[in-house]
Structure formats: structure tokens, C-alpha cells
Amino acid sequence: MSALVKQIPCLSDNYGLLLHDTATGATAAIDAPDGEALCQALREAGWTLTDILITHRHWDHTQGIDALRALFPAAHLYVPAGEADQIKSSPATSVDEGDMIHIGSLCAEVIATPGHTIGHVVYWLEEDNLLFAGDTLFSIGCGRVNETPMDVMWTSLCKLRELPHETEVYCGHEYTLANGRFALKIDPDNILLQEHVAMVENLRAQHLPSLPTSLALECAINPFLRADNAELRARMGMDDARDDEVFAAIRELKNKS
């Protein structure tokens, strides 16, 4: 594999991500929460930005685009087709489900994951076992469902759950500790969850990141991926409910936490 990922803390709890192809020198920014921080990271690494891949239109994922393009005017911008008219930077290429983006020798597949926003997409590098999940999937959590019915977000999460479990997952925010504390309230007997939250407590006490995570771990401890789990459903008193109804109930509880 020739993929190298740098994770840059931005704003209060965002992560900016740089994906570098060691074979060709091509480098992509996955979202642009803070142009200055990303430009500094690029300068320190000696990398030239060739591509910018946006997951969704929210300001804390797009506000750094112009700063990146000011320093790297040749960088190619990719934006979700469903939100292209709301992302003002141009020129840009609109992408949607199944599109393939090449960053040097690396290849990222676009997966549509509506829910947090109606046009949200994520980027999956099959050969490199990497997923850039934006605000669809967090460690032990998922994004708020702002613009679609709950079942749409559940469907999006199920799509990600079906990816290879060795996939390494990078998320848009450092929310793991708060997510873990919530998850323990509804899934308190999950030993792996208990152990992981304790580890995250230690990491965050040292101001270290909890990310990336793995899809295998998330499928075992993330309640938003486990709405069809019999034990979790029973604890919530929803044995006979549809999976998307259980998901919706978990999401509403998290919204109120």
C-alpha cells in the first residue's frame, strides 16, 4: 500500500485529513475545516495538494477550501452532487454513488450516505482499507439526522457496516468519549465497549486522538450500527420493532443526552 494519512486537529473538535500517495506524491485533503492548519501541515510534510474531497456542505468541513486553493490553485475539488450548488467554491467536480476518484495511484470510491445531510458522501479506498466517513459515522456514534427520515440514515449506516471489517475509519470529529459514555447507558454489559471507553478516557486525558477506529470495533461497540442486535433491542424494550425504529429511538436518546 502507498497510502499515508495525516490527521490534523482543527477548530474545537474537527479533524482535517491529508491522504498522501507515497508512490506518486499526490495528496488529497478530505474536507477542509481549517485552511491555515491544513496548509501548515502540508508545508511541514513537504507535500503538494493535488485534490480536495468534500463529504458534505457544512461550514466546518468547507470553510478552508479557499485558503487551500490560494496556496495550491491547481488542486482539483470534488463535492457531493446533491450539495454542489451550496458549496460556492469553483470550479468543482460533482460526485455521487459509485464514482471513482484517483489520487495518484490511489483510488477512492464515492459512497452516498444521506442522513446527516441529504447529499452526504463518504470516500472508501478498498485496496488500502481506508474509509473517510465525514459526519455519517463516528467512533461509537453517528451524525445527527438533520435532513432525512431516520430510516434513510439507518440504510446509509448499513451500507458502511457491510464494508470489510478490517477497514480503518477516519471521522470528521473527536466525539468518541461523549459517544462512549452515552453508549454505556444503553449497552452497559458490553465488555468490549467498557474496555474501549476506558482506553479512550486515558487517551483524551493525555490530549491524544481516539481515532482512527476500525469497522470491526465499531460493529461490536457502536449502538448505531447494532439496532438489529437482540440484546440491545431487549434492553430498550423494542424486541418486536423494526431495525430502523430501534435506530431512531437510540438517536433520539442521544439527541437528548
Q: Is 76 annotated in the active site? A: no
20, 76, 120, 173: which is the annotated catalytic residue? 173
CA-wise closest residue to 53 among 71, 78, 83: 78
Helices (H), ranges, the chain: 35-45, 59-62, 65-71, 150-161, 176-186, 191-205, 215-221, 230-235, 243-256
Q: Is 207 annotated in the active site? A: no
20, 76, 116, 120: which is the annotated catalytic residue? 116
21, 51, 56, 187: which is the annotated catalytic residue? 56
CA-to-CA distance for 169 and 172, rounded, in angstroms?
A: 10
20, 58, 120, 196: which is the annotated catalytic residue? 58
Q: Is 173 annotated in the active site? A: yes
Q: Is 196 annotated in the active site? A: no
60, 128, 187, 244: which is the annotated catalytic residue? 60
Report phi then psi at 235, rounded to 5: -60, -30
* The one-letter amino acid at 187: D
Three-state secondary-structure class, residue 3: strand
| Active site amino acids | 56, 58, 60-61, 116, 135, 173
